Chain A
Amino acid sequence: MRGVYTVFRKELADHFSSYRFLILFALITMVSLIMVYMAGMGLREALEGAVKPKFVFLMLFTSTGALFSLSQFVAFFGPLIGLVIGFDAINRERSTGTLSKLVSQPIYRDAIINGKFLAGVATIAIMLTSIALMISGLGILILGVVPGIDEILRVVFYLLISLFYISFWLGVAILFSVLFRSIATSALASVALWIFFSFFVTLGANVLANALVPMEKDATTVEQVIKHVRTQKALSLLSPMVLYTDSTSVIIDPMKKSTRSLMLVGPLEELSLSRFQNPLPLSQSLLVVFPYIAVLVAITLVCFGITYAVFMLQEIRAL
């Protein structure tokens, strides 16, 4: 434990004093504040004179002020935080020769990888929390509403899911820094994987669904449409970004009751749905997206597990 803590402390200090972190943090803070400001102004205008709906505060995260909403922004560019923090974690030490020094100290070898991963996660957590607090402050100023306990809890869960999502990409970056000796290669490989899973998988899911379950213009049955949508959904879930956006959109928006875009409802259900237009309690929102969250946590752990195993089994000669 002493080893993990020592490595963790040193890595955390390194992160916070690096220019890389400062630039990233400044950039993300700036963009977030601008977006929340725009969203807040838009909301204020829209709600002028109207009765305020419930959960105005949470709308800050979901309403599209400028180009996209804040939660979309984190979904798109959050992974970049993880990648930037992790892509040279191991191979930089290898190229400067400090890794062979570390492994010859009386600490277990996994303390190095655990300490580095935990320091990365802590950095991300501190970054996310501070940005969320700044946003909340700005939101309260603009909207003049104070979030209730339910809203605060929802934001906390939103942050937790974001933390796992970004940590997954941190894990990927550290894995590549173990696998590749060149820093440039690991950076490029992790960015390539990020682009593939975030953008191409969602695009590819459409294309593949069209190929697997084609929909003709005139003679499409209901069954076909359902099958098509389901195939497309299943394929797009391969992307961590889709997992993340689906789960957070339900968490952050109490009015949203399902991650599905297409819902089959019978006449009676339709009636009950229109009569009960009330928000879901937090526990129910969590229940709706629990499988998504579970998968996000699982891929993060699996990714770290692979990194751990590869690092532990590597010949020291290669260090």
Chain B
Amino acid sequence: MAEDKIILETQNLTKRYGQILAVDGLSLQVQAGEIFGFLGPNGAGKTTTILMLLGLTQPTGGRVRVCGFDPTREAIQVKRRVGYLPEHLGFYEDMTARENLRYVSRLNGIPEETAGPRIEEALQTVGLPDDGDRRVGEFSRGMRQRLGIAEVLIKDPQLVILDEPTLGLDPDASNRIIGLIEELSRAKGITVLFSSHHLHQVQKISDRIGIMIRGRMVAVGTIDQLAQEKLGIGKETYTLEELYLKYFQEA
């Protein structure tokens, strides 16, 4: 895939819930193969934006194209190519990890012959090769999160959208997830869009970031660029935290 190919594009995307403007004129481009960090305080409209990208919520106005499709009209095409890990991800607790993955692969219409090896590979990738036959009810939070990523990998996505993948994880588990995301992107060329509050992790792996505050995207760019613009200092002398707080105070 060409480096400059745009996989996700929004123009003036708006979502209104009654009086509240959840997303206000968002224009964004994400290139194929990059890792895009999506930052912003709680309730800034990040999840709403993600839901609109997947066609799970109708935009009030504006245009969206994901993998060349309009999520509102061709939701199935988009969902076939985009893996989504929701913030509160759930599994069928009584089923084993493998059965959960099998169900997802069936929903994706993956033929049974290819599903088997793919499930094994996904379990291997996320580091759960020996836990496939355990009930998900017994899994720890970190293991669930990794299983969630395995579930996303099953469909062999072009774009992966992760909503707070490290929420509530201990530092070790959270580092594993971040490492996994980076590995997927670099090794398989999967585009990743993820939202997080763990700024040092975002800084570590993101190619570009976007900061969203109260429904508006206040900054998009590489961290270095933004730091140069906003703080007027070079690399290594700042943290993303300073930058983020600066934007936050201004908004």
Interfacial residues of chain B within 27-73, with CB under 8 A of chain A in the complex: 48, 51, 54, 56-57
> For chains A and B in complex, what number of residue pairs have CB atoms within 8 angstroms?
62
Interfacial residues of chain B within 198-221, with CB under 8 A of chain A in the complex: none
**Max chain A CB contacts within 10 Å: which of B48, B108, B151?**
B108
Shortest Cβ distance from B47 into A: residue: A317
Shortest Cβ distance from B54 into A: residue: A104
- B151: which A residues are within 8 A, CB to CB? 101
CB–CB A101/B51 < 8 A:
no
Say whether, besides A97-B88, A101-B86, A104-B84, A316 and B57 are in contact (CB < 8 Å): yes
- State whether the Cβ of B238 lies closer than 8 Å to any Cβ in chain A: no
- A102: which B residues are within 8 A, CB to CB? 107
Distance A32 CA – B56 CA, assembled complex (angstroms): 47
Distance A7 CA – B89 CA, assembled complex (angstroms): 19
The bracket for how many chain A residues form the interface is 20 to 34
1/0 per residue A9-34: CB within 8 Å of B?
A: 11000000000000000000000000
CB–CB B90/A100 < 8 A:
yes
CB–CB B86/A97 < 8 A:
yes
- B109: which A residues are within 8 A, CB to CB? 2, 106
- A317: which B residues are within 8 A, CB to CB? 48, 51, 57
- State whether the Cβ of A98 lies closer than 8 Å to any Cβ in chain B: yes
Q: Main secondary structure on chain A at its contact with chain B?
A: helix
CB–CB B86/A100 < 8 A:
yes
- State whether the Cβ of B233 lies closer than 8 Å to any Cβ in chain A: no
Name the distance in Å between A108's Cβ and chain B's nearest Cβ: 7
CB–CB B86/A106 < 8 A:
no
- State whether the Cβ of A96 lies closer than 8 Å to any Cβ in chain B: yes
- B90: which A residues are within 8 A, CB to CB? 93, 96-101
Distance A224 CA – B177 CA, assembled complex (angstroms): 80
**Max chain B CB contacts within 10 Å: which of A2, A6, A103, A106?**
A106
Shortest Cβ distance from A7 into B: residue: B107
- 28 interchain pairs (CB within 8 A)? A6-B103, A6-B106, A6-B107, A9-B106, A10-B103, A10-B106, A93-B90, A96-B90, A97-B86, A98-B90, A98-B91, A100-B56, A101-B86, A101-B104, A104-B56, A104-B84, A105-B79, A105-B108, A105-B155, A106-B76, A106-B77, A106-B80, A106-B108, A106-B109, A316-B51, A316-B56, A317-B48, A317-B57
Those 10 A-B pairs whose CB atoms lie nearest each other, nearest first: A97-B90, A316-B56, A106-B80, A98-B90, A96-B90, A105-B107, A106-B79, A104-B84, A6-B106, A97-B88
